[in-house]
Structure 1
Amino acid sequence: MATLRDWEQGRFTPPGAVLYLLKITLKHPELLADLAA
């Protein structure tokens, strides 16, 4: 949880691959449902 808090407060930037994955899931949330199934 500390990493998430630091990210929200601007003290941490996730690696590029993580940011790319987040962008994809925001555009295509159905992909998360497919992964969870």
Structure 2
Amino acid sequence: VSNCPTNWGMSPLESLDHVHNVILKEFPLGEFRAK
């Protein structure tokens, strides 16, 4: 997961908060398939 504060129209700190509070809830980190 990565942030893009320029395209999102946010400061770098706001974009990190957005990743943690919005994006990671929709796309949680984890292992999708164990090998």
With the shorter chain as reference, the TM-score category is 0.3 to 0.5
Q: Which has the higher helix share?
A: 1
TM-score, structure 1 normalization: 0.33
Structure possessing the higher relative contact order (Cα contacts under 8 Å, 6 or more residues apart): 2
TM-score, structure 2 normalization: 0.34
